[in-house]
Every structure is written in C-alpha cells, then in structure tokens.
Structure 1
Amino acid sequence: MSIVHQLDKRSGITYVYESTSYWDKEKKQARSHRKLIGRLDPETGKVLPTDGRGHKRGHKVIDTSVPRKGPIPVSHTERLFFGATYLFDQIGEMTGITADLKTCFPKNYKQIQSIAYYLILEDSNPLSRFGKWAKLHRHPYGENIPSQRSTELFQSISEEDKMHFFRLQARRRAEKEYWAYDTTSISSYSETLKQVKYGKNKDGDKLPQFNLTLLFGEQSGLPFYYRKIAGNIPDVKTIHELVRELDALGYEKVKLVMDRGFYSADNINALYKEHYKFLVGTSTALSYAKKFIHEIGYEKDSYVNYNSELELYVFTKTIAWDYEQKRPYKGDILKGERRMYLHLYYNSEKQSNDGLLFNKHMDALKEEILSGHRVPEHEKEYKKYFIIKETPKRGITLNYNQQAIDQVRERYGFFALLSNEVRDPVTALHLYRTRDVVEKAFGDLKDRLNLRRSLTSSESSLEGKLFVEFVALIYLSYIKKKMEETGLFSKYTMHGLLDELDVIECFTEPGKAPIQGEVLKKQEQIYRDLGVTPLLATPKN
C-alpha cells in the first residue's frame, strides 16, 4: 500500500489516496485500487479526512509526514523542467551549501534552496509567483510555498543559525586566500525599519536606505559572510565591527582586501591589533605617499619601472607605520612602529584624466567663491588653493596658491596601495583587482535577484529574505566564476545559459525511475564547463 497525492486543477485542492496494488488475473497485469482518505493542508502538510466527496469530516488529522524506510516513492505522474535546478543541486553538493544548510536549518533547508533557485531563474518575478514556477520545475522542496508560508520561513531564520552557516562556509575557504570586503546601499520604501536611513546612496537614489557589507573569497570567488547595517554609516566606520564579528565567529588567519573608502589610521591600527593581514587602497595625498612620489620625480615614466603585464609603471617602498593602541584597562596608549609596504602605480592616461578632473573642480570652486554661493564643506579647499581678497569697490578678486596646486599636479596619474604582508607590487595589484567580484555580486543582488529596492517592512522578514538572497548569490557566484574561467561568456549571457539548460525535462511515474528528457551535446558541454557531472546527451538513432 502507498500514499498518492493528486492535484485537482479546477479547485486547486490536492487529494490524498491510499493506493493498493493487486494482480488482475483476467487482464494478466498489475492494477491498483485507490481509496480517498483526505485532502492535503498546504500550510501544515497534514491530511484532513473527508467524507469521500471532498468535504472535510471531523477534526482528526492524519500525519503522513513520518518518512517510511527505504526509497521515497514517486506519488504521482509528472513532467517537469529540471535542467537548471539539476545544475543547482550539483553546485550545492560541491560547495557544501546543501550540507551546511541542512546542518543549520534541518527543517527548512529544502524550502530555502527552492526559493533561492526561484530567485535565480525568475529574476523579474515577485515571490508571489513561486507557485506557478513550482508546478513546472523539479526542485528540492517539491511543493508550493505560498506567500504566507515564505514569510513564516523568513521569520524563522535566526541570527544564531545564520552565524552557524557563516562559520561552516568559511571553513571551506582556503586559509591562505584574501577576502574581498565591500559595502553597498539598498534603497527602501519602508518607514518602519529601524536601519533605513538617508546616507550616501551608491546608486544615486534619493530614497532612504540600509547598507550591506559582504566578504568574498579571492580564490573561490564565493561569498561567505554579510551583515546589514544602518544606511547612514559610512564605509570607514564598519571596520571595527567587522573585526569584532570575525573574532566572535572564530575566523583565523584573516586577510582582507579593501578599497580606499575603508582607510583610516584607526582602522589600520585595529587590523594590526588583531594581527590581521590586509591590502587597502589609499589616497596619494597622505604624507608618506606624497613623499614617495616626490622622491620618484621625473623617473615616474622611466622604462626601468615599466611593467608590461600591468601596462603600468610600478614602485614599492617599505615604510614604518606609527602604530597606536589604546589600553582602557591601563588608561594609556601603546605606541610603536610596524612594517608596511607602500605600492605606487603610474599611468599617463590617468595623469591626463586627473588633470581634467582637477581643473573642472577648480572651476567649480572659483564659481562658488565669485558668485557668493560658497559651500561650507569646501571652505578648506578655498583657503588651500586661492588667495581671496574682497573690497567694497572691486568686490572679490582671486589669486592662486600655485605651490598647493603644483603639489596636486605632482600626484597626477598615481594611485596607491598599502599592505602589511604583500611585498610585490604586481601581486598586490592582482589581489586588489579581485574586489571586482564583490562589485559584480552587488550587481547580481540588485538586478538578478531583484533587490535594488526593498519593499519588505518587517525586520524579521527582511533579515530572513536577505539570507535566502545571500544563499542564491553563492550559486550565482559559482556559475559566474566558472563562466569566466571557461570562456562561456563569449557564447552566453548568464540568463541565456540558464535558459539553455532550463528546457531539459524529467518525467516521473509512480513505481518507476525518473526518465530524463532529451539533452543536446552543447547542453552536456555546458555542464562539463561548469564543473558538474553532466546530464548525458541523447544518442542519435
């Protein structure tokens, strides 16, 4: 005897039957007899008894959720798309996503995966359309997840379980790899979320926002940590909290790659204090950078300093960092020197662009002064670059501080990196450019995963949805990295590749093994290029 589920398409009700197999002596074939025992409650997964005509009878609930021993039989005949979801299944096994989700969310991990699959494949559709997609695709949960149920799922994802998942994923990253760190802003229409504030919006939206921080493995190309913070917190203020959380999570041998927005003396001291390795962009206006550029002088475009691989002129120097550590328990400041490597890079095209930008900026400052519409934030620059005189008769007259302007001109074409570990300037720049994976990932979150503007108004729902979006991002990041490594982007867009696989069908029937639909040679090759066990191409007759 087996339990069979059958959906009535007219009413949308799933009926549950007891199916008993027997041998028909007259027709000499196996037959089955079905007996209606109830209807499936879509919210609880329980069977509600009926009177045999589809009506509810009494209050007794039959629990069919207890798994039977042995293989789980297919309950009804289906023909579903599964080429793309099969790819995600394989990625989940290889990257440990499936195992780690099962460990952290034993009751809900399949729902999390199914929603993540949906978000990737149906990037332009809201989550309310999940039911339609679920009827057409084979996916881990195998059932519809109504809007109310998805909200409950998001609210059930606790901070403790999220942190457990981060720990497990981080253990799968190579200890020697650098971690690219960056932030982005997510606009929101909500007036109730506490962390939605007006701040520097990186998309140019005039809406309040919350910010996301993200850590990416430099070699793996996969994210393994994120945090939501208030929208008015600048990048430079996030490092101290990042350091505390990495320590709380038990991460060891931390190596961070960050852009110049995260540079400050306090942040560098905090990283030194925790013995973290780092590579960070910095301004050429800092004293030690200006001094090094002045030393280089006219040698900045000498061929001996040219690197053909980078097509840049490169320079490096060991400097002493003035380290300071406040010790509240002693009430003093510990001071000392720490070794650091300063890398400079010069490009003649950047020199021309820097000159044009600076001249336009000077024009804007000059206009502000002469028009009387001075900007308070620019007062320091007015005094630095201009000698301003004002008389009742002649009005405002300007002269220029040529020495200050020449100091800026000397830095045209240069950019700088700092590291307490990477000595080689070529290696340093290669590592620094890995930050691109974070910027691309933010683009995927906002565009591919439909997170450019958040409509969620509940704190717990938003936290849970962000986590599921993050899980989806891991799958996307794996695919994107493999596509770049194997040159698949020359043939497909991300959307086009997934569409190419999503047409592959799977036919299932009770009591029989699933039957794979037709697979083309080019589809088989896509699986191979993405590093997964392929669905084999259908042989020609």
Structure 2
Amino acid sequence: MFKDAQTGLDYFCPNDNYYSKILKSDPPATATTAVKGRKKSKKTVAMYSECKDEMGFGYMLACHSIIRELQLDEILSASFGCLSQDIIAVSAFLASGAPGGLSNIDHFTQNNFCFTSKIITSESLSQLYKDISQSMCNDFFRSWIRKCCQNDYICYDVTSVSSYSDNLPFVEWGYNRDKERMPQFNIGMFCTVKSKVPVYYSPYNGSINDYSNLPYVINKARGVGLEPDADKKVTLVMDGGFAIPDVILKASEMGFKLLIGAPQDFGVKIKEHLSEWVTNGFLEDSILRRNDEAIRYKEKEITIGRLRTRLMMFKSPLSGLDQEKSLNSIINQMEIELQDKNKIIKGKHKYAPFFHITTNENNAFTYTFDKHEYAKTLALCGCFALLCTNTELSCEEALDLYRSKDCVEKAFAVLKNDILDERIRTKSIESTNGKMFLAFIGLIIRRTLEDKLRRYLNKNRISLDSAINRLSYIRCIKEDEKWVLSNCLTKVQRELVDILGLPVGGLGH
C-alpha cells in the first residue's frame, strides 16, 4: 500500500513482498503483480483476482494473516498440495458465516482476492469435498496437533449435527442436543485450553453414547499424534457426562491424565463424600477467591477400581444461592400439585424424596414433607466435585482449568450456528467428510479472529459478523496496472486493521 503524491490516493499492489509475507507462496500471474518498471510473471495460470475491476481484500487479508500466524498455510500446503488455496478460500467463506449459503461461493470468490486458480462454483465445491481424502486430513492433523498441543491442556466434548441424508451409514436417530426430530451424527472434538484452538475432531454414529465411544475417539486421536509421551502425559479435561468408571480406567490405561467433573450420582459415592465434608464443617478447609466469592475446597484420595485418584470438593456461595432458589421452586411446585390432587393412581415416585405419600384403597392420599431430606439437600447446594489424576495440579489450578473447558462448547456453538447452519445437507460419505474438514478450518479461522477482536467488539458493542462485513468492504478498484482503494478507510475499519496488525500500510513498498 502506498500513497500517490500527486493524487493523494492509496494504492494496493500485491507484489512479491506481499506474497512472501502473507501467503508465503508464489505470486499469481501478470496483472495483479505488475507495477511500473517490473516485468510480468511468466506463469501461465491467471488468478481469479485478475478478472474483476473491483475486488474486496480486507477480510481475506485478515484470514491470510491469521493463517500465516498459525502456520496453517504451511501445514495445508504440505498436506493438500494444490488444493490448499481452494481450501483456504472456502474455509474463509464458511468462517464469515457463508452469507447466502454455500451456493454463493462463486460470488464470494468472484468478488474477493482469494488467490485461487479459478472461480469456485457449486460444482467445483462438490468436487473439492471429494478430493479431500482421509489420508490427507490425517497428515494435516499430525502436523497441526504437533504444532498446537505443546505445553497445553486438552479438553474434549461431543455434539450432534442433524442431517437430511437418509443413506449415510453413520446418520441415525439418537439423543439430539438441539431437540430436533431428525437423524444425526455425532462429533467428538478436542481443543487446547490455553490457546482455545480446535485441534482434532472425529465424527461417529448418531446413536452411540458419548462415553461409550470415548475410548475409540481417543484411539483415533492417538493415531494422528495426540498421544502422551514418556516424559509428560497429556491431561484431558472433560465434563461429568464422561465420569464412568470403565471410561476413566480405559483412558488412564491409554496414558492420559484426567480432570473430570464428578456428578453426585457417580458410582464412587461422591454425594456421601460431599455430605460428610459439609456435615463436619469447614474449619480445616482452604479458601480461594474468585471474583466476588470465596470458594471453600477440600481434597481427599479415593480409588476407582485399580486407579487411585484425587477427589477435589468445592462449595460456591453464589452457585449455592441459585441452586437453593431452584430447589425451593421445585418443592413449592410439587406441593401445589399435591394440594390440587384428590387421588394419586401412579407417579408417586416423582415427589420423592421430599414428600412421603400414603394412599388408601380408594387412591385417596395424604402426604408429609421430609424436613431431614430437605436439610441434607439444602446443605449440598453450591457443592461440586472434580476427579483429577494429575498429581501436579493444585485444587486452585484444577478449578480454573475445568472452568476453561467451555472453549470447546463455544467452538461447537460457532460450528453449528455460524458455519454449518445447524444441519448437514451432503448426500455421500466423501462429501460429508470433505465439508466437515472445511468447516473445521473455518472454525479455526473464525475462533482466532473472534479471540483477537473480543475486547474491541465488547467495548464497542459490535458483533463479529458486523466486523467481518466492515473488513469485507475494504475494497480496491483497478486503475491501469495498479489497485487503488475504492474508499478511504472508516474509523472502525482503521481500528480493526490496527488490532489485527494487517500490513496495509506497507504492502506496496
């Protein structure tokens, strides 16, 4: 980028310097790189960006800057070869929310500097899905995991994606997290906790339980490099849905350290341990401060099968107030229902353990409120527990680490709502696998872009989609052999460019 001294206009010339800094690949042919006094490239393949007199480059520049920073360009190029630029272009389109749907991919590549060899149409996109093979993806994951997972913790969770296809073998009816009456497939995903970057995903049959398939997903992840070494084991952070003794033992046997939420109905009597702790008082407990509350905690050693692990118990006053309010609301609703009934024929169990119901031969009934059970439950409000096999983590570190696992839940929300539009419409296994990989790369781009802009977006109450639109509207028009900005940058555009560190000011030098 440089300013013409006579006209005062800003010029954009994506020259060799641009490609070495941003794309780290050979520049495309002729017109996009030609400036006065420089010979044109001898390459015969003309990039798409030559075909239009006005092009958007702000958003794609941001995407390429992120990809370069994460070294995604090198890894994609090494794994996919000539497909890498098409993958980047489509993934950037998905990261933007795919405005107009994927059928609009030709419009996107036609109006933005995507640096592809041709316009990507719906037909060529379908072919790209099929060209992305599993062996290529596995090569990518090996390099990506090696790059991202050093000195970081890994969290894991599962979501479901609804599908319109009735001929995909892994699409079946199961527990649908979106409450849709549709068949689905499940996706298990690993994310780094500190950098909050997705590192690996594994789709599987929609009817399989999450915890049952965890050892198989872990085994696949180990096959592409997510494997503990002899010196430092990888710590997996998971919620209480995976707190199954057999699953914990299997994951531990595979060499992973674990930090898992421990629900009170877990098979090693978590509720009894918490009740004993609360009943005996908190005099010897430790306290840690988090924001506006003081959280008490205590640690004890327990055994799960052959595995010795640490049970970390916590009591949060703020969570306790919310849970106490919810508990009283439920009990009040139960009592109102009982007062309105004349007879109870079935369903007495739903009022336990707080109400004891006695019926006679006519199904008329009386009930009593169990104050002792109410007091025990009330005392446990705000209590929760974690199971930890990593002996190097303190209770304070474990709590912070566990609370950070929501990064994978947020990644799922972005994947389903912003990228996939909640459902998959592909009809073959190859197309589904290819689209999921492109969505995965798009997820990395969007999550990284959001993380970089989060403070600015919150402060100025601007959505990420709005920021992407403003970046997309940084456009150039062609003037002779140069590209000149079609408009002066707005205040918001300048601020976005500065935050992202986009090299707009020196591209032409």
Task: Classify the TM-score, shorter chain.
Answer: 0.7 to 0.9
In 1, are the aligned partners of 2:46 and 2:117 still within 8 Å (CA)? no
Q: Structure 1 residue 413 and structure 2 residue 409: aligned?
A: no
- Out of 188, 202, 224, which is 1:249 matched to? 224
**C-alpha displacement at 1:92, in angstroms?**
0.9
Larger radius of gyration: 1
* Structure with a larger share of its residues in strand: 1
Other-structure match for 2:466: 496
**Residues 510-529 of structure 1 aligned to structure 2 (within 5 Å):** 512=481, 514-515=483-484, 518-520=488-490, 522-529=492-499
- Out of 161, 171, 175, which is 1:186 matched to? 161
**Residues 20-419 of structure 1 aligned to structure 2 (within 5 Å):** 68=43, 78-141=53-116, 143-251=118-226, 252=228, 253-286=233-266, 287-297=269-279, 299=281, 305=287, 307-309=289-291, 311-323=293-305, 336-347=306-317, 348-356=320-328, 358-359=330-331, 371-374=344-347, 389-395=358-364, 398=367, 405-419=374-388
Other-structure match for 2:9: none
In 1, are the aligned partners of 2:310 and 2:387 still within 8 Å (CA)? yes
1:144-179 Cα offsets, whole Å, 9 max, x none, are: 222221111101212221121111111111422111
Other-structure match for 2:27: none
Question: What code does the residue aligned with 1:456 have?
Answer: T
TM-score by length of 1: 0.75
Q: Distance in 1 between matches of 2:179 and 2:463?
A: 26
Q: Distance in 2 between matches of 1:369 and 1:429?
A: 48
Q: Distance in 2 between matches of 1:245 and 1:261?
A: 20
In 2, are the aligned partners of 1:524 and 1:536 still within 8 Å (CA)? no
Q: For residues 304 and 277 of structure 1, do their structure 2 counterparts lie closer, same or farther at Cα, with a shift above 3 Å needed?
A: closer
Other-structure match for 1:57: none
Q: For residues 277 and 407 of structure 1, do their structure 2 counterparts lie closer, same or farther at Cα, with a shift above 3 Å needed?
A: same
**C-alpha displacement at 1:490, in angstroms?**
1.9
In 1, are the aligned partners of 2:239 and 2:261 still within 8 Å (CA)? yes
Other-structure match for 2:432: 462
In 1, are the aligned partners of 2:48 and 2:119 still within 8 Å (CA)? no
Question: What code does the residue aligned with 1:102 have?
Answer: S
In 1, are the aligned partners of 2:345 and 2:363 still within 8 Å (CA)? no
Q: Distance in 2 between matches of 1:72 and 1:450?
A: 28
SS state of the match for residue 474, structure 1? helix
Structure 2 residue runs of 5 or longer lacking an equivalent are 1-29, 31-36
Question: What code does the residue aligned with 1:503 have?
Answer: Y
SS state of the match for residue 218, structure 2? helix
Q: Distance in 2 between matches of 1:395 and 1:248?
A: 63
Q: For residues 304 and 177 of structure 1, do their structure 2 counterparts lie closer, same or farther at Cα, with a shift above 3 Å needed?
A: closer
TM-score by length of 2: 0.79
Q: For residues 70 and 354 of structure 1, do their structure 2 counterparts lie closer, same or farther at Cα, with a shift above 3 Å needed?
A: closer
**C-alpha displacement at 1:209, in angstroms?**
1.6
Q: For residues 450 and 245 of structure 1, do their structure 2 counterparts lie closer, same or farther at Cα, with a shift above 3 Å needed?
A: closer
Q: Distance in 2 between matches of 1:368 and 1:457?
A: 52
Q: Distance in 2 between matches of 1:368 and 1:161?
A: 64
SS state of the match for residue 386, structure 2? strand
SS state of the match for residue 356, structure 1? helix
Q: Distance in 2 between matches of 1:392 and 1:222?
A: 63
In 2, are the aligned partners of 1:197 and 1:230 still within 8 Å (CA)? yes
Q: Distance in 2 between matches of 1:370 and 1:185?
A: 42
Q: For residues 448 and 265 of structure 1, do their structure 2 counterparts lie closer, same or farther at Cα, with a shift above 3 Å needed?
A: same
SS state of the match for residue 405, structure 2? helix
Structure 1 residue runs of 5 or longer lacking an equivalent are 1-18, 20-29, 31-65, 324-335
Q: Distance in 2 between matches of 1:153 and 1:469?
A: 13
In 2, are the aligned partners of 1:257 and 1:278 still within 8 Å (CA)? yes
Q: For residues 181 and 128 of structure 1, do their structure 2 counterparts lie closer, same or farther at Cα, with a shift above 3 Å needed?
A: same
In 2, are the aligned partners of 1:519 and 1:536 still within 8 Å (CA)? no
Other-structure match for 1:477: 447
Work out the percentage of aligned pairs sharing the same amino acid: 23
Question: What code does the residue aligned with 1:100 have?
Answer: I
**C-alpha displacement at 1:73, in angstroms?**
12
SS state of the match for residue 186, structure 1? strand
SS state of the match for residue 150, structure 1? helix
Question: What code does the residue aligned with 1:236 have?
Answer: Y
In 1, are the aligned partners of 2:278 and 2:379 still within 8 Å (CA)? no
Q: For residues 369 and 180 of structure 1, do their structure 2 counterparts lie closer, same or farther at Cα, with a shift above 3 Å needed?
A: farther
Q: Distance in 1 between matches of 2:428 and 2:48?
A: 39
SS state of the match for residue 181, structure 1? strand
CA RMSD of aligned residues (A): 3.5
Q: Distance in 1 between matches of 2:95 and 2:207?
A: 30
